[in-house]
Amino acid sequence: MRILFYGVPFTITILIGCSPRGNQHSEEAVRVDSTQPIDSPLEIKVVSQDVATQEVAPRKSYQFDTLSLPKVDKNSPVKILATGTFHANEVWKGVEKENWVAIFRRHNHFFTQKTTVVAKRVHDEIMDADDENTGWSVSTVSPDTAILLVSGITLPEGKIMPLTLPGTEILPGDSITFRYQGNDYALFATGSDKGDPSDRYDIYNYKLYIAANRNGQIIVQHIVAIPNFDDHMVNVIFAGDLDGDNVPDFLIDTASKYNSEMPSLFLSNSATPETLLKMVATYFVVGC
């Protein structure tokens, strides 16, 4: 069977030994029904490898896509933040008054726990004059390392089983298959190479997908799209079940420019029945 993504100039070939009952097209996700369960990660791996190797060849002229993902929902009540030092516009007043849950790391163990955020004005070495303190220092009252702070959504507290990937970056042509809580998944990327062998980030029209076998159905979802990079690459900061549904959630840096970060939180429990993940919050910071 072959599946065509609307708005995406390639097809995905899924090699499984069964007859399809039907297929469904969507810009975000495609679900393929099969007549028998697919219990091997190989099928998902075939999907990812077949797609990921199609657009890597260098080209002399570049036509950048207009699609950028994830889309920011300005009405979302969910907010995320990290600890550290920030510029004036990267933290908001009253941040310490909100109800926060943190993803903490203690040695090699990860867990979620309610926490109190401490935000103080500090001197911004890049932006401030000698007598100014417009920057922010954000910390928690916990001695543990906070990977992320989340507010505006209820997350269960307790231990998290992290998903350990072989690498944090997924370049065009890469595919990673993995099993989490008994289910098979794949992350894979497509994109085009501008042809500079000395620059591994010399990529345009990058797209990141997640695929999963859900009850005998393969769902493929397009989660990140970046038309062009400037010495930076999408990378997975953290993965694991944060919302208690035994499906991996992802914190992904979706920034496209050097000296910047754009952590975006994707939760499975907030996704629609046709998709695997939904980006619920993001924030953007720069170094200097």
What value does the mean pLDDT take over residues 98-111? 96
Q: Any idea where the domains of the chain sit in the sequence?
A: 2-71+161-286, 79-152
pLDDT for residue 43: 63
Q: Is the pLDDT of residue 12 over 70?
A: no
pLDDT for residue 200: 75
Q: Which residue from 191, 218, 217 is spatially nearest to 202, judged by alpha carbons?
A: 191
What's the chain's average pLDDT?
82
Query: Angle at the Cα of 235 (from 234 to 241), degrees rounded to 5?
Result: 130
What is the CB-side half-sphere exposure of residue 7 using CA atoms within 13 A?
14
- 132-161: per-residue pLDDT in tens? 999 999 999 999 999 999 999 999 999 999
Q: Which residue from 70, 113, 117 is spatially nearest to 91, judged by alpha carbons?
A: 117
Contacts of 221 (CB under 8 A, 6+ apart): 28, 29, 209, 210, 211, 275, 276, 277
What value does the mean pLDDT take over residues 115-141? 96
pLDDT for residue 46: 60
- Got the DSSP string for 46-81? HHHHHHHTSS-S--SS----S--BSPP-TT---EEE
pLDDT for residue 51: 64
Q: Is the pLDDT of residue 119 over 90?
A: yes
Q: Is the pLDDT of residue 32 over 80?
A: no
Q: Is the pLDDT of residue 73 over 50?
A: yes
pLDDT for residue 96: 95
- 226-273: per-residue pLDDT in tens? 998 888 899 999 999 999 999 999 999 999 999 999 999 999 999 998
pLDDT for residue 82: 96
Q: Is the pLDDT of residue 215 over 90?
A: no
User: What would you measure as the largest C-alpha separation in the chain, in angstroms?
Assistant: 72
Helix (H) or strand (E) holding 43: helix 41-52
C-alpha to C-alpha distance for 225 and 252, rounded to whole angstroms: 12
Q: Is the pTM of this model over 0.95?
A: no
Q: If DSSP codes are grouped into helix, strand and coil, which group holds residue 210?
A: strand
What value does the mean pLDDT take over residues 209-238? 91
When mean pLDDT is compared across 29-38, 80-89, 170-179, the lowest value belongs to 29-38
Cβ 186 vs Cβ 47: under 8 Å: yes
- In this structure, the number of other CB atoms found within 10 A of the CB of residue 72 comes to 14
Q: Is the pLDDT of residue 26 over 50?
A: no
* Bond from prior residue into 166 cis (ω within 30 degrees of 0): no
pLDDT for residue 21: 28
Cβ 58 vs Cβ 195: under 8 Å: yes
Give the pair of three-digit tokens for residue 264: 């975006």
